[in-house]
Amino acid sequence: MLNTIQDNATYKLFLFLCISCIAFLLPGSATAQESEREPIVWKVSFEGNENYRDMVLREIIATSSPSFLQKIFRRTGDSVFNEMDVRRDRIRIMRYYERRGYPNVDVSYEIKDRKKAWQKEVVFQIREGNSLQIRRSKIEIDAAPEIADEIRSSREFERAEEQHTFQVGNRYQTLRRPDVEGRFLNLLEELGFAWPEVEIIADVDSVASRADITIKAKPNTKTYFSDIEIEGEISVPERILIRETDIKEGELYRRSKIQDAQRQVFNHHLFRFATINITDQPQDSTLNVLLRVREHPKRSVQATIGFGREELLRSQVSWQNRNITGTGHRFGVSGRASFIEQRLSTDFLVPYVFNSRSSNVSSLFGQHKLEPSFELLRAGFNNSFIYQFDRTKTASGSYEFSINEELSRSSDAALPDSVLNYNVSSLSLSGYYSEGLSRDPRGWLIQPFVEISGTFSESTFTFQKALLDIRRYTHLTNHLVFATRINTGVIFYSGDQRLPSNIRFFTGGTNSVRGWNRQELGPSRVRFDDSGDFETYIPVGGRSMFTFNLELRQDLNELIPNVGLAAFLDGGQIWRDLNSLEDRPIQYGAGGGIRYQSPIGPVRVDVGYKLNPTDEDLNIYEGEDFGSAWSRIGVHFSIGQAF
């Protein structure tokens, strides 16, 4: 009976497949549907383009073909074939070449049918022709001989003369004219001429494919700053605001001086809007500027809330008075809380110490931390001096004194070792360098840190700590980023007592080595329950640390807006000290995750897998497995990138 049922089921499946195949092959069914489909641009290709790659030319035309994933999921609505668009694209390609020095370019196109009638291939056929080569190039300065000699002898002029685009032997591209004009205008403005004029004269012979270029520069009068007019209601004396610009009466005008002044005022905590403009005035040797500002409310309250895999719920509330002394000094009170840390602090900011780039922050704080291996109560004060060299480089020096009470979270510890009271008195130096200035990080980011404790004998422990965090963000394509990070540190300590946990290094977790939970990578000790049975392992930290992160970030905006994917390989280790590096090998975690670009930052979910875990990582004690399948996997949720 069972065999009969199976035979009937097999027969019905076979019959269904046969009918499906016949229906697909009948000319009146699928073929008719195919012929009625709207034509789609299935492929766009180029022929004859020797100087510009296909990828570059695709960016300038409207005609586009669906991506591989769009073809699979039949999301081809944005690639409907329109020959009028193709004709416009032909003109776009010609204009693109002409503006880049190919006056005799010729472009045609061909429409081809692929395997199915509704699938169209658009082929652009390009004959580039000869390019316009610059035969002669000279710079003329229309000024008195002594002024012309001063300009030509400046390092800025030499650099512009060597690097401008219209050099002999280069291709003459009309779209580069604004760049060259702007370069020499900026040069003259940096040398103190507020009203310069630059003109480019090009003698073009399209038959011979050559061009002679003359750059005429007229610096006009050298200019000095005079008056600064302020527009807008301000709550500080005008001298405070003018001091923030760092512009002094009688100082030689420079374009960068105006830009830096506007940036410094805008960066001041009191102002939410700032512009500096040159007003209409006689073009003579004096220059008046107009500074427009708008202040933030004097007092404000701000509250934020967030979620994460480690801290779970976290929140912060802050109150600020941005002008407590009438001279732009700020006083604030803030509190933040999560399931790991609670902190209450006050801060007093002096935004101008000896120039607009220097500031000082003094604060009092109280803190409670609950880490996997210890609990900490601390209170103290901190004073930090901060100096911003430019937009990419900042340095700071600080002194901190704190009173600490650290409690061991080991239930088997016996008093008095379960409670440790100590003071920390330390000087710290730190730096920050960021190559990229955009919201999307690019290039190098370097953060060194040095801490020296016990200098003034108020500290219970005398040690020196050094940390270095180096990151690199490489954009492989417009949508693919390769992010790397190395983070390493060492503590030099020669005392007899063991350093407190809060001073030692820990690693592992959402923002370090994924696959491990917070601080769980590295050496650990056993914790037993009240009955003396094995409960878990507790990390103990160490005085040497090294971690690295490699991550590929791919955004899927073309397919799913605001969504991206990531694949990563993390690694690292904690050692007791520099002499025990051979005792523990580097451990690795690998995995992937998904990103959603929300208004408050990228919402991130990562899943990491431990590649070479130890028995401690898997909760194996004396050969007995107390763990589970999840002991090898870490799930990480947070807002913001891992680094």
pLDDT (tens digit per residue) in 288-299? 999 999 999 999
Confidence of residue 381 (pLDDT cuts 50, 70, 90): very high
* pLDDT at 23 exceeding the cut of 70: no
Higher pLDDT, 26 or 476: 476
Instruction: Centre a 10 Å sphere on the Cβ of residue 278 and count the other Cβ atoms it contains.
Output: 14
Structure tokens belonging to residue 584:
């523990």
pLDDT, position 51: 92
pLDDT, position 410: 52
pLDDT (tens digit per residue) in 460-490? 899 999 999 999 999 998 889 999 999 999 9
pLDDT, position 20: 45
Nearest to 66 by CA among 81, 56, 51: 81
pLDDT (tens digit per residue) in 59-108? 999 999 888 878 887 888 788 999 999 999 999 999 999 999 999 999 99
Q: Could you give the angle at the alpha carbon of 465 between the alpha carbons of 459 and 470, nearest 5°? A: 150
pLDDT (tens digit per residue) in 250-276? 999 999 999 999 999 998 999 999 999
CA distance 541 to 524: 8
CA distance 384 to 399: 7
CA distance 59 to 44: 12
Q: How far is CA 320 from CA 300, 331, 439, in A?
A: 5, 6, 26
Confidence of residue 494 (pLDDT cuts 50, 70, 90): confident
Confidence of residue 413 (pLDDT cuts 50, 70, 90): very low
Mean pLDDT taken over the chain: 88
Q: What is the mean pLDDT of residues 385-407?
A: 93
This prediction's pTM: 0.75
* pLDDT at 22 exceeding the cut of 50: no
For CA atoms 322, 326, 327, 329, the dihedral sign is negative
pLDDT, position 590: 96
Confidence of residue 591 (pLDDT cuts 50, 70, 90): very high
pLDDT, position 35: 52
pLDDT (tens digit per residue) in 422-444? 999 999 999 999 987 666 788 99
Q: What is the mean pLDDT of residues 112-116?
A: 88
Confidence of residue 28 (pLDDT cuts 50, 70, 90): very low
Q: Which residues contact 625 (CB under 8 A, 6 or more apart)?
A: 618, 619
* Percent of the chain topping pLDDT 90: 65
Q: What is the mean pLDDT of residues 497-515?
A: 91
Which segments within 48-176 are labelled E, that is strand?
Answer: 106-113, 119-127, 133-141
Nearest to 558 by CA among 481, 483, 482, 479: 479
What's phi and psi for 164, nearest 5 deg? Answer: -65, 155
Q: What is the DSSP letter of 118?
A: T
Peptide bond into 523 cis (omega under 30): no
CA distance 255 to 191: 9
pLDDT (tens digit per residue) in 149-191? 999 999 999 999 999 999 999 999 999 999 999 999 999 999 9
pLDDT, position 578: 86
Q: How far is CA 149 from CA 143, 144, 189, in A?
A: 9, 9, 16
* pLDDT at 370 exceeding the cut of 50: yes
* pLDDT at 195 exceeding the cut of 90: yes
* pLDDT at 203 exceeding the cut of 80: yes
Residue whose pair of structure tokens reads 């003034």 in the numeric block: 456
* pLDDT at 576 exceeding the cut of 80: yes
* pLDDT at 45 exceeding the cut of 90: yes
CA trace torsion 456, 459, 460, 463 (10° rounding): -90
pLDDT, position 416: 37
pLDDT (tens digit per residue) in 607-618? 999 999 999 999
Q: How far is CA 448 from CA 433, 468, 513, 636, in A?
A: 9, 4, 20, 27
C-alpha distance across the termini of the chain, in Å? 65
Instruction: Centre a 10 Å sphere on the Cβ of residue 150 and count the other Cβ atoms it contains.
Output: 17
pLDDT (tens digit per residue) in 314-340? 899 999 999 998 899 999 999 999 888
